[in-house]
Amino acid sequence: MDILIVEDESEIAQLIQRTLEKEGFSCRISRDGVNALHMFQDQPPDLIILDLMIPGLDGLEVCARIRQKPGVKDPYILMLTAKGEEIDRVIGLSTGADDYMVKPFSPRELVARVRALLRRSLRQGGQHQLNRTQHFIVDLDQYTASRQMDSQEPETLDLTTLEFNLLSTFVSHPGRVWNRSQLIDKLWGDNFFGDERVVDTHVARLRKKIEPDPANPTFIKTVVGVGYKFEDSPVM
């Protein structure tokens, strides 16, 4: 797994690099936001550890620009900051970060969070490898998902790993109401350390890719005070 560390404080960047390379990860370091975007474009990593306060472009801007780029690898983003205010966490997650850590942090916690983000498969518990509803097919063997609306040809969906896993969870249980804790357990397992509202960010991003009108969702419905429900007819 390739990890890009975007951190302007040399000692912290080297500590992160040493810690993760001991665990078998391949790491690169960028000292500023502009260079980080160049490195991302040249060789998209699997995960980016992104400091909030960096020269050039700050972490929020770098995160937002990466999430806006279509057709390239969409990495997990773990945001770092010396600040601990609630508003910073909310802003960081709303720009597309997957998790959030406040400095100082322990190397052990860092490794745990990185491993949690890089989990590539859901804990399926013996489910079939092909999940489908009237409008969606999720192939867990081929790791592909498609949508078919009315008489149109099937459309292959360009999803990130988390979006794929989230859609697979929804499609495998149409009509079920999920709270955020249950979705976190399905997507990240026991090693999740972030804010539960990260679920809302990924649901919003998935809606943009599968809903005819994301502002008025047809499939992923919000259940006020509870969580989310996927509405589509199952195919037997």
Q: Are residues 101 and 136 in the same domain?
A: no
Average pLDDT for residues 9-19, to the nearest whole number? 95
Domain that holds residue 56: 2-117
Q: What is the CATH number of the domain that holds 69?
A: 3.40.50.2300
What is the C-alpha separation between 72 and 66, in angstroms, rounded? Answer: 9
| Model confidence pLDDT, tens digit, residues 199-220 | 999 999 999 999 999 999 999 9
What is the C-alpha separation between 224 and 232, in angstroms, rounded? Answer: 19
What is the C-alpha separation between 83 and 63, in angstroms, rounded? Answer: 17
If one counts the domains in the chain, the total is: 2
Q: What is the pLDDT of residue 87?
A: 54
pLDDT at 168 over 70: yes
pLDDT at 71 over 70: no
pLDDT at 136 over 60: yes
What is the C-alpha separation between 182 and 69, in angstroms, rounded? Answer: 30
Q: Is residue 206 in some structural domain?
A: yes
Q: Are residues 104 and 19 in the same domain?
A: yes
Q: Are residues 109 and 140 in the same domain?
A: no
If you ran DSSP here, which 8-state letter would residue 154 be given?
Answer: P
Q: Are residues 105 and 135 in the same domain?
A: no
Q: Is residue 122 in some structural domain?
A: no
H-helix or E-strand spanning residue 100: strand 99-102
CA atoms within 13 A on the CB side of 149: 9
**Domain final residue, candidates 117, 142, 165:** 117
Q: Are residues 147 and 176 in the same domain?
A: yes
Q: Is residue 123 in some structural domain?
A: no
| Percent over 90 (pLDDT), the chain | 44
| Model confidence pLDDT, tens digit, residues 154-167 | 899 988 878 888 99
Q: Is residue 88 in some structural domain?
A: yes
Q: Mean pLDDT score of the chain, rounded to an integer? A: 85
Q: What is the CATH number of the domain that holds 186?
A: 1.10.10.10
What is the C-alpha separation between 85 and 91, in angstroms, rounded? Answer: 10
If you ran DSSP here, which 8-state letter would residue 150 be given?
Answer: T
Q: Are residues 36 and 84 in the same domain?
A: yes
Q: What is the pLDDT of residue 218?
A: 95
Q: Are residues 140 and 76 in the same domain?
A: no
pTM of the predicted structure, to 2 decimals: 0.56
Question: What are the tokens at 214?
Answer: 């994301």
Phi, psi values for residue 229, rounded to 5°: -135, 135
**Domain final residue, candidates 117, 147, 174:** 117
pLDDT at 230 over 70: yes
**Domain final residue, candidates 117, 142, 161:** 117
